[in-house]
Amino acid sequence: MQDRFAAGAAMTTSRAALARAARSARLALIHGGPERNAFLLLCKAALATVLAWEFAVRVLHSPTPFYAPMAALLVVDRTMVRSLWASVQLIAAVVLGMSVAWAVGSVAGVNWWSIGPVIFFALLLGRWSRLGDHGLQVPAMVLLSLLTVGGTSVSFTYLTILETLIGGAIGVITNAVVLAPLHLRRSREQVVAMAHQVHELLHEMSQGLRADWDADLARHWYRVGGEISLHVPYVIQEISTGHESTRLNPRHNARPVRVDWEGYESTVEALHRAQWQITGIARILVDAADDRARQPVPSPHFLARYADVLDALADIVTDFGVGDDVARARLDRQVAQAEEILAELREQVRVAPQEDPQAWPVYGSLISDAERAVRELESARSRAVLPTVDGQSIRAPQSALIRGRILWRARRREPAHPSTVEPKSGLVGQEEDGTPNATAGRLPIEPHGSAQHID
């Protein structure tokens, strides 16, 4: 009975895996995106492996055509820079391993007392950071050479190194010729997605402060702010990958696309610094609404006016990094409005009698955090660049369908306090060939490495 149950569970798991694979294949064929890009990367790796195998058999007449296809398989990567560097690392690891095996085989031979020290030495060499992930090839090649030909066969050593060199070259050439990987869209989508999320969080906080908010809703704002900050390293990594993909890339060299990568990084870093202050505002509101913290609650009149500051901040984020004159003028007005309201609130706290004399630190903290957020964005505006579609910024409204879908997902996630903190639309600029592109829908920020793909 148990065996039958285990067999049924295994069959169910296999069917689920096959269904996921079929779905990914269908998406790769029908739609562009991560599935198609991953599928293309796999196809290029398979093609490079076959070509290297055929070359080793038909040209080199290798009796064991293993090293050429292995090298070709391992060097096909997401960018040309990584592909070339992986080829160099792999060749260096193989040469080191074969050299150590030849030296030990010639001097001491293959004995029980020589295998241990030489493998230990090879493992140390393999940990050299310059070899990266290919460092494991050093002890592998030492062991393989010693156990097969005693490490002393010149022809075996020569053929192995030659196969590795040619296989690596075939992998690099295949990666360059067959749609060389160029990652432009993903990095731009991530920058826009982060700006959307900061904008939506500020808008949601301002709406909440004008309505009936409580400690749970404030905790939700605080949690969302923390999640946005946690994703920043992944956004920076996507920008770095996109920039790296343009180097040594024949597609980009043939039809270059101008992208201000430093401007993207400046945008993300400035939004991150401003987000620290926004998260601090949420933390103050959590303590003020939590009975256990015993912090004074700001007056409704103050919070209603403070909500205007958050709205102004949201509008600043809307136009932050947008290069046209209209957006710059609009940003100037929003900065001036935010500073004017904050000055008004500061004066109000200073001269107006407070119902609770212990409340002034809460007012001061809220004002200071908002002032710092405005200063962070204002000081970085000259270096910031936000991708747009035909000059349209992230102010574009959502359709009712998208808004309803976001609210439904938010209610499933947190029934008590639905969130609208989701990007409203995608963008973004140009495709790899320079044509305009706009991607509607949700643009999640995902950890780097969750899906290896080519844009």
Closest C-alpha to 36, from 452, 440, 425 = 452
Same domain, yes or no: 172 and 227: no
Structural domain includes residue 77? yes
Q: Please tell me the least confidently modeled range out of 104-118, 128-142, 242-256, 438-452.
A: 438-452
pLDDT (mean) for 105-132: 84
Confidence of residue 450 (pLDDT cuts 50, 70, 90): very low
Residue 156 is predicted with a pLDDT of 84
What is the average per-residue pLDDT within 214-232?
95
pLDDT of residue 20: 61
375-411 confidence digits (pLDDT tens): 999 999 999 999 865 434 333 333 343 344 434 444 4
Q: Which domain holds residue 285?
A: 185-413
**Least confident segment among 151-155, 276-280, 299-303, 392-396:** 392-396
State residue 388's pLDDT score. Answer: 66
Give residue 284's pLDDT: 94
C-alpha–C-alpha distance, residues 369 and 276, integer Å = 9
Q: Write the burial class of residue 406 (CB in 10 Å: 0-12 exposed, 13-18 middle, 19+ buried).
A: buried
Same domain, 274 and 332: yes
User: Where is pLDDT greater, at 359 or 381?
Assistant: 381
Q: Are residues 248 and 159 part of one domain?
A: no
Q: 448 in a domain, yes or no?
A: no
Considering the domain architecture, whether residues 126 and 273 belong to the same structural domain is answered as: no
Q: Indicate which CATH number applies to the domain containing 393.
A: 1.20.58
Query: Could you tell me if 71 and 160 lie in one domain?
Result: yes
Q: Is the pLDDT of residue 420 over 60?
A: no
From 16-30, 150-164, 266-280, 434-448, the region with the lowest mean pLDDT: 434-448
- Do 167 and 119 share a structural domain? yes
Does 380 reside within a domain? yes
Whether residue 429 lies inside any domain: the answer is no
**SS3 (DSSP) at 389:** strand
| pLDDT of res. 30 | 54
Considering only residues 169 and 392, tell me which one the structure prediction assigns the higher pLDDT: 169
- Is 294 in the same domain as 408? yes
Is 331 in a helix, a strand, or coil?
helix
Instruction: Report pLDDT digits (tens) over 122-155.
Output: 899 899 888 888 888 888 888 888 777 666 678 8
The pLDDT of residue 273 is above 50: yes
Domain count, the chain: 2
For the segment 66-95, the average pLDDT, to the nearest whole number, is 92
State percent of the chain over pLDDT 70.
Answer: 75
Report pLDDT digits (tens) over 203-221: 999 999 998 888 999 999 9
Q: Is 402 part of any domain?
A: yes
What value does the mean pLDDT of the chain take?
Answer: 80
Question: What DSSP designation does 99 have?
Answer: H
Confidence band (pLDDT; 50, 70, 90) for 32?
A: low
How high is the pLDDT of residue 33? 63
Asked, for residue 445, whether it belongs to a domain, the answer is no
Q: In this structure, are 70 and 31 located in the same domain?
A: yes
Same domain, 69 and 157: yes
65 and 194, same domain (yes or no): no
* 6-10, 288-292, 401-405: the lowest-pLDDT one: 401-405
Which of 177, 206, 236 is where one domain is finished?
Answer: 177
**pLDDT over 90 for what percent of the chain?**
45
Of 111, 142, 177, the last residue of a domain is 177
Is 426 domain-assigned?
no
CB atoms within 10 A of CB 88: 16
Which pLDDT band, with edges at 50, 70 and 90, does 54 fall under?
A: very high
- Which backbone phi and psi does 207 adopt, to 5 degrees? -65, -40
- Higher per-residue confidence, 74 vs 422: 74
User: Looking at residue 6, what is its pLDDT?
Assistant: 52
Residue 455 lies in a domain: no
Which residues have C-beta within 8 Å of that of residue 276, sequence separation ≥ 6? 229
Query: Within this chain, do residues 244 and 366 fall inside the same structural domain, yes or no?
Result: yes
Closest residue by Cα to residue 425 from 450, 448, 395 = 395
- Are 45 and 171 found together in one domain? yes
Last residue in a domain, options 156, 177, 198: 177
Q: Give the list of residues 6+ apart from residue 338 with CB closer than 8 angstroms, or none.
A: 309, 312, 313, 316, 370, 374
pLDDT value of residue 100: 85
